Structure 1
């Protein structure tokens, strides 16, 4: 059963209750599941869930794993229900299944979408082996406020970077063939503009112009849909007063009518029910009516569709045609996945013993972790350290910690395979005993005598690795922060250790950009290590001891102060822009700090140095229907091999709407040996220069533009070109 005619015939045989059943996804109370992230999951219970499956009145289950149990559930669905419609089994597989890869924000720091495709592919292989068909990932929200806890799940603050990673992750999860046993259906979330919640407060309201919605927040969704995504999750937030889960302009107007999306939309966890708390729906029945009529196809966990759609159809408040369209979309996705032809796909019970891919996936996790780390500072080339003949002190609450390696939204990770920092460092040293380990403090609390012990260890060492940062519980859903700083106990530890005068390398564990204290800024070197996953210890040892050079770049701007949020590099210029080193009075700045980043988007250092040659353009003008070649020679002028991320930015000098200071339009990561150079080339078209005009229509306006090829969003010298108008009579 794999074409639309068969689906229409099936629809014709379905009862109203069977149709409504397809529109619900319930927490899996039969297989082991994640109670911590699904606190109301027990409301149906195992027996009632089996009865619903047998009656053909549930379309999908989520956050349960196990191929054997999943196969039995599917057997009930296809052999005991009247029509034999297969179940879709989903879960939150965000950044790895049993093998945990860096959090998405960390992986974005690699500036390597192909790496994200590979880790998503590995996650799909593992998840489908565990009896899953569907993941609620990737998160493609653009996050410009670091107070928001879910920054960790995103690709950061830039739309172009988010679009590239969104498409890559979809291709990775789904693979080349949706019907393959190891294809994992991707879900884009959160539609839409969840990353723009006011004050970075989770679930909060979103108030933004239609132009910003289309220019900043929607392009990653469109890129991922173009890459083949077939499910989208509606977000918790309202947009300009209309909750996304009942927003017809979003779910039908943009998604289906403008973009031609052919898949289905699933609510976030009970977000349809939450229309009542929003004050948008009077009761559950009204919430079901508003959601389905807006274009929501599947209700997650709330039960409002199951409880009220039959009555709404009988009363004419929801048309049978609207309901059938939603059912058809869900059945069509199941058909595209080959589930009617092979309902037991991804439900083959694996043989006993370790999975055959473990070594390969561990190697990938280690490589991904290395490539995600960003070196912010390396004064006097204090890094890399020597593996022998050097006394090293590892100090801080994350030195031996194993609870905060994976980061948020790690539900199914195999903790027995996780490598902590001490283990990884000792394994790399010629003499493991040359490493002294002292916690100094707990993550949030002081330890009696802890700072004294840390200071003694630092004074006795030739170099200190200071492992500080955020715990997992500070990041992720419902973890917004007003102050994006280290806990006070850790700050006191930093100040004491820095004061010893021993060279200090900070290993910063974090799920967002942090405001770094002056003491921490005074460290000799700073590595942003995010939450790196299963291979944390080995990956950081590889970098600290110079087996590999750091190659990550910041996907978010690090502010001077927490109060700068939301801060992002591509903000528009004001009429009184702040210019570092210039006149400061009556300018766009704070009393306490400049309107700049401490470390800007795109920044990152390596163990070598790169020089950029003169930027060359193929022509001084970009003709309306042609492309402009932009190139420069990049040279490694240091003594070690390394990787550089060459970034292309543009700025529209004069436009009908105020434009950002710079906008990323391309990037390429290149590896160069010492003394080696390479020409890097990009091509620009007028489509790269488009934005939403005052009428919210996409336009490109002729005129002068500035352009940079640079290693970050605030470096490099601009060159200019002119976009020429269309020839007379041209479209």
Structure 2
């Protein structure tokens, strides 16, 4: 009864106090904490897995027992509002102190309505679209009982061998920060009190995108300058945006596991950035502190708590070892109290104490998930993410006439349209590309289909690569023959090839990032027919496309476009929509160039760029230094002409004209170079961009304001500094095709 009275008091206080309720809310948390036993506090720090997210099965009796005894603060991997509601009622009505539960899930690029993978979304350079996607994801997830989302992933990645590059926004810290803010705004809304707001959890804190060799779960070693200038900005932007929680990463930071890094969590995150929200470990990462040799197994949990991490995902070591650590004097009860306070505060900010069942409305499950409206938005956004890499002879857009051969293992694979991290979706409801093209063409043309090949020649390799979304296999030689037969009857060939959905994402690192063997062999056979070929490239990462770029007429990178990928691809292929995406991760010319990224430092012996090979420059003896497709690159069905850039009164202006025949969107990009500074600065850095729609024959002027905050940088102590002097201001359609204007600052 006392707890019920407190809950009623809290609700009434907030209603009457309006926006001045912070002190009342803090007092409520303090009063609640004072009533709790040590074991109950430790229970709030425990986050077990609920079961199999695909089937919705849970460890019923075990989870129920933990809830009733007050030994968990939340759970994840339970799907369905009915089961989540039952567990929430159990916590509030039978658990100690009526404390509601956090309910987590990985809603990375959609719940049941799946949007393009995050790397693809970033290629839209459209933060409004990303925020819209996140809002729809929040509506659907909360309608099914989820209140905490393990997204966005804001890791900067310069190594496309790392499978989790698919989950982030590419290689650039400025663009990554813009997108991070958009995700947080979309998921959380204004204050997280709405019943359709999710608490976001930014991950992985920090530097996970720089794992050595592109191998997941590997170690990281980097300078402080790289940390502060490239890898930390998207996290800092998320904190400034008001994100509710962060997740630690699996890697080392300065020789310490990130989960137990006092310098990173208590230091940078809490002290320097003022973050007072919740920090949760990644899956079972506390035991890894000992695995990586940073402490003993018995002290791993204590070390993690001392570093400022609040919640233990899966391992149970907070629950089972911290009492002993407290008795041994390794930790203090204040440390436990501080962590528990942050867990309770997160629940309070979600409005769970006011209404523990705000996410348990079964009517919303019927009304708000996989709706026609949400699917239409997913289709629209997907068309913005595709990147046209090559279009020789303007073969695209394709006319709906004649005989079109659609060939490839991804042409009739509806279960692979969504890409990685889409376990919550209903892929049985998704159209394949073949179905969408047939519907779009109707009787106007004829589609001739052949699967053509497997994903890999080797069955075992394909089984590992395809993961949960297997594509039935056939005999490659027979499949090749069928494809060539179909191709011989066609006027044009569309090849749907590349990676399958689970070849990128977590634990999907690849040493060879070319198109897999049997697919590339079939492409060579198709090229030999002399028929024009359009490659629809499915991928979750940049690939090495040296041969394809040389020999294929057109390449449209469609990534993995989500629930409506089939229709969205068809929209662009047949010209209903004009491609406007631009790369946010560099495509290497060869695997040996990796890591390759646009904002690199100047070498001591730079390439003279005059086309004459000099052995004693920083170059390769067998290939060019230049990537195949640079950061910011992407073609359109129309053409854009850039006028001469002018710089006056700290404002750089340039006119862009649409010199083609259709309306298109152009992404105008501004870069800077600090020519002389206290530490070496990159050859160029993205500092602003503007996405504009231009009609045929129209000219628009774009103006950027040059301010000190875009000219400064972080020193090795994380201090933002600025050096007067000469800067190069660059503007253009991508990081390689730029006009340069000199700018002097006193």
Same fold, TM-score > 0.5, yes or no: yes
C-alpha displacement at 1:452, in angstroms? 2.4
Does residue 442 (structure 1) correspond to residue 442 (structure 2)? The answer is no
Q: In the alignment, is residue 614 of structure 1 matched against residue 644 of structure 2?
A: yes
Task: Determine if contact 1:656/1:694 at 8 Å carries over to the other structure.
Answer: no
Work out which of the residue numbers 315, 331, 341 in structure 2 matches 1:302. Answer: 315
**Unpaired segments ≥5 residues, structure 1:** 620-627, 725-731
Residue pairs, 1:62-81, within 5 angstroms:
62-81=76-95
**Secondary structure class of the residue paired with 1:465:** strand
Other structure's SS at 1:647 match: strand
Residue 135 and residue 649 in structure 1: after superposition, are their counterparts in 2 closer, same or farther (change >3 A)?
same
Rounded to whole Å, the distance in 2 between the matches of 1:685 and 1:366 is: 37
Do structure 1's residue 335 and structure 2's residue 364 form an aligned pair? Answer: no
Query: What SS does structure 1 have at the residue aligned with 2:98?
Result: coil
Instruction: Write out per-residue CA displacement over residues 310-354 of structure 1, whole angstroms, 9 at most, x where no aligned residue.
Output: 111222211011110111111111111111010001111226856
Task: Give the match for residue 392 of structure 2.
Answer: 379
For 1:501, which of 514, 521, 530 is the aligned residue?
Answer: 530
Q: 1:587 aligns to what SS in structure 2?
A: coil
For 1:390, which of 402, 414, 436 is the aligned residue?
Answer: 402
Partner of 1:600: 630
**Alignment correspondent of 1:237:** 251
Per the alignment, residue 561 of structure 1 pairs with: 590
Correspondence for 2:704: 682
Which residue of the partner structure matches residue 545 of structure 1?
A: 574
The equivalent position to 2:620 in structure 1, one of 586, 590, 601, is 590
2:146 aligned residue: 132
Q: Do the aligned partners of 2:415 and 2:430 also contact (CA within 8 Å) in 1?
A: no
Deviation of 1:604 after TM superposition, in Å, equals 0.4
Q: Is the 8 A contact 2:672 2:728 kept in 1?
A: yes
- Give the number of equivalent residue pairs: 706
Cα distance change, pair 579–378 in 1 and its aligned pair in 2 (3 A) = farther
Distance 1:520 1:614 in 2: 30
Asked if 1:638 is matched to 2:695, the reply is: no
Determine helix, strand or coil for the equivalent of 1:47.
Answer: helix
Question: Aligned equivalents of 2:224 and 2:202: distance in 1?
Answer: 20
For residues 63-212 of structure 1, what are the structure 2 equivalents within 5 Å? Answer: 63-212=77-226
Choose from 494, 504, 517 the match for 1:465: 494
Aligned counterpart, 1:410: 422
Deviations for 1:514-564, whole angstroms, at most 9, x for unmatched residues?
001414531111001111111111001100100110010001111110111
Q: Structure 1 residues 433, 613: closer, same or farther in 2, change over 3 A?
A: closer
Greater shift in the superposed pair: 677-686 or 551-560: 677-686
TM superposition shift of 1:694? 5.3
2:294 & 2:365 partners in 1: Cα distance? Answer: 52
For 1:308 and 1:684, the matched residues in 2 are separated by 54
SS at match of 2:690: strand
**Counterpart residue number, 1:220:** 234
Q: What is the alpha-carbon distance in structure 1 between the residues aligned to residue 231 and residue 586 of structure 2?
A: 18
1:522 aligns with 2:544: no
Instruction: Say what the alpha-carbon RMSD is for the aligned residues.
Output: 1.6
Rounded Cα–Cα distance in structure 2 between residues aligned with 1:79 and 1:587: 72
Contact (CA 8 Å) 1:657, 1:694: kept in 2 or not? no
Q: 2 CA distance for matches of 1:357 and 1:467? A: 26
Contact 2:108 2:150 (C-alpha < 8 Å) held by counterparts: yes
Superimposed CA distance per residue, residues 263-318 of structure 1 (whole angstroms, 9 cap, x where no aligned partner): 010000011111111011211x3001100001110000001001011111222211
Q: Distance in 2 between matches of 1:519 and 1:691?
A: 39
Encode CA deviations 1:224-244: one digit per residue, 9 max, x unaligned.
Answer: 111110100000000121110
Q: Deviations over 1:543-601 (max 9, x none)?
A: 01001100100011111101111110111110211244433222222222111110000
Q: Which has the higher helix share?
A: 2
Question: 1:362 maps to what in 2?
Answer: 375
Which of 250, 263, 269 aligns to 2:264? It is 250
Q: Which residue of 2 aligns with 1:706?
A: 728
Taking the aligned partners of 1:584 and 1:227, their CA distance within structure 2 comes to 48
C-alpha spacing 1:352/1:188, structure 2 compared with 1 (3 Å): closer
SS at match of 2:687: strand
Question: Equivalent residue for 1:625?
Answer: none
Shift of 1:695: 5.4
1:260 is matched with 274
> Counterpart in 2 of 1:312?
325
Matched, 1:715 2:737: yes
Point out the more displaced range, 89-98 or 683-692. 683-692
Shift of 1:200: 0.9
Cα-to-partner distance string for 1:473-495 (whole Å, 9 max, x where unaligned)? 22111111111111110010110
Deviations 1:666-686 (A, max 9, x none): 111100110011111111211
Stretch of structure 1 that moved more, 671-680 or 346-355: 346-355
Compared with structure 1, are the counterparts of its residues 35 and 690 closer, same or farther at alpha carbon in structure 2 (3 Å cutoff)?
farther
> Mean Cα displacement is larger for which, 118-127 or 654-663?
654-663
For residues 581 and 468 of structure 1, do their structure 2 counterparts lie closer, same or farther at Cα, with a shift above 3 Å needed? farther
Unaligned 5+ runs, structure 2? 1-9, 11-23, 458-474
Task: Kindly indicate whether residue 360 of structure 2 is the aligned counterpart of residue 347 of structure 1.
Answer: yes
More displaced 10-residue stretch of structure 1: 350-359 or 448-457: 350-359
**Distance in structure 1 (CA, Å) of the matches to 2:213 and 2:447:** 43
Q: Find the residue that maps to 2:48 and give its secondary structure.
A: strand
| TM-score w.r.t. length of structure 1 | 0.94
Q: Secondary structure at the match of 2:477?
A: coil
Question: In structure 2, do the counterparts of structure 1 residues 402 and 571 end up closer, same or farther at CA, with 3 Å as the change threshold?
Answer: same
- In structure 2, the partner of 1:658 is 680
For residues 338-384 of structure 1, what are the alpha-carbon distances to aligned partners after superposition, in whole Å with 9 as ceiling and x for unaligned? 11010001111226856476111111110111111000111111111
CA distance in 1, matches of 2:365, 2:430: 21
Compute the TM-score of the two structures, normalised by the length of structure 2: 0.93
Please tell me whether residue 33 in structure 1 is matched to residue 46 in structure 2: no
Q: After superposition, what is the alpha-carbon deviation per residue over 1:387-423, rounded to whole angstroms, capped at 9, x for unaligned?
A: 2x32111111111112321111111012133121111
Contact 1:426 1:432 in 2 (8 A): no
Secondary structure of the corresponding residue to residue 135 of structure 2: helix
SS of corresponding position for 1:599: coil
Look up the match of 1:269. 283
Return the alpha-carbon distance in structure 2 between the equivalents of residues 349 and 696 of structure 1. Answer: 48
- Of 52, 63, 67 in structure 2, the residue corresponding to residue 53 of structure 1 is 67
Instruction: Tell me the distance in 1 between the aligned counterparts of 2:70 and 2:108.
Output: 29
Cα distance, 1:697 vs. partner? 2.9
Task: Give SS of 1:399's match.
Answer: coil
Give the conservation status (yes or no) of the 8 Å contact 2:43–2:72: yes
User: Which among 685, 693, 696 is matched to residue 715 of structure 2?
Assistant: 693
Output the CA distance in 1 between the equivalents of 2:44 and 2:682.
45
| Residue aligning to 2:337 | 324
* Aligned pair partner of 2:606 in 568, 577, 580: 577
Native 8 Å contact 2:144 2:365 kept in 1: no
The 3 A distance-change label for structure 1 pair 278 and 351 is: closer
CA distance in 1, matches of 2:608, 2:661: 35
Distance in 2 (CA, whole Å) between partners of 1:545 and 1:218 is: 41
